[in-house]
Amino acid sequence: METKMKTAPPRPRNNAFGQGSLLVRRPRNLRLLSELPADLPTKLFANANRVRLAAGKILFRAGAPADCYYRVEDGLLKVTMVSRSGAERILAFLGRGDIVGELSIIDGLPRSATVVAVRDATLSSVSRAEFEAFSEEHPEVYKSLVKILAQRLRETDTVVAASSFLSLKGRVARTMLELADHFGQEVAPSRIVIRQKIGQNDLAAMAGIARENLTRVLNDWQRHKVLSRFSGYYCLEDKTQLEHQAKV
């Protein structure tokens, strides 16, 4: 699908944010294959088809039938929902190693959200038939599935609470912390840079607020040195302050 990929430059070890930086990541959200012995996902994806998706292209739309799911090998995707009025809400960003589209393969229902490439991406694709055969051979998959469903319910509770009770700053703080947890790189004590370039429109859509409100919050934080931006990358300068504002 399927334009020629641009090769991303290697991550610099010495950069404007510091030297010899240490990668800081939270444990990935529980995914369908995350709890299995390491050799099983390798076997499942050994003969997977490769899909190349250019930035801005849609992997699949909400409501579309599902016949496969994907693992992100490179690039960045966003999972979105769009209202009838055209307003977009970003549910998540997905990077290398993340699985996308697995729930529709399990329940057989149409896609629940739209997935779009933010940057050129390469994915591995596994069909429903391949997944079902794999699950029959390795019933451990179903134990992992129960954990996923339980976590999704907990996440839904958190999202509802955040949308109901958090201030605008709290919503933006929650968004920046989530991105830092997923894509963060510690470049100096207490300084974490988000190693993905994400535009303000996408940040606003993820926080669920208007772009103008997001801009005001970010400008205020930059003035007070809570957050900075350099060459398109956001850096958390005061994570403790953001965590305080993100509490429900």
Strands of 233-236's sheet in order across: 22-23, 184-188, 191-194, 233-236, 227-230
Confidence (pTM): 0.71
Domains and CATH numbers, the chain: 28-164 (2.60.120.10), 166-245 (1.10.10.10)
The residue type of 176 is M
CA angle, corner 73, sides to 70 and 181, nearest 5? 95
Determine the pLDDT at residue 44: 83
Contact 191, 201 (CB under 8 A): no
Q: Alpha-carbon Rg of the chain, whole angstroms?
A: 19
The residue type of 232 is G
Between CA 13 and CA 185 the distance in angstroms is 11
Across the range 1-15, mean pLDDT stands at 38
Question: For 193-242, how does the pLDDT look when each residue is reduced to its tens digit (9 = 90+)?
Answer: 998 889 999 999 989 899 999 999 999 999 999 999 998 899 999 999 99
Determine the pLDDT at residue 39: 76
Question: For 81-105, how does the pLDDT look when each residue is reduced to its tens digit (9 = 90+)?
Answer: 888 887 888 888 898 888 898 888 8
Question: For 19-72, how does the pLDDT look when each residue is reduced to its tens digit (9 = 90+)?
Answer: 333 433 333 444 556 566 677 778 888 889 999 999 999 999 999 999 999 999
Determine the pLDDT at residue 85: 82
Beta bridge partners of 193: 185, 235
Q: Is the pLDDT of residue 16 over 90?
A: no
Question: For 146-160, how does the pLDDT look when each residue is reduced to its tens digit (9 = 90+)?
Answer: 777 777 777 766 666
The pair phi, psi for residue 18, each rounded to 5°, is 150, 175
Between CA 125 and CA 62 the distance in angstroms is 18
Q: Is the pLDDT of residue 10 over 70?
A: no
Residue 55 DSSP label? T
Tokens 């398109």 label which residue? 232
As a dihedral over the C-alpha atoms of residue 128, residue 133, residue 136, residue 139, rounded to 10 degrees, the angle is -70
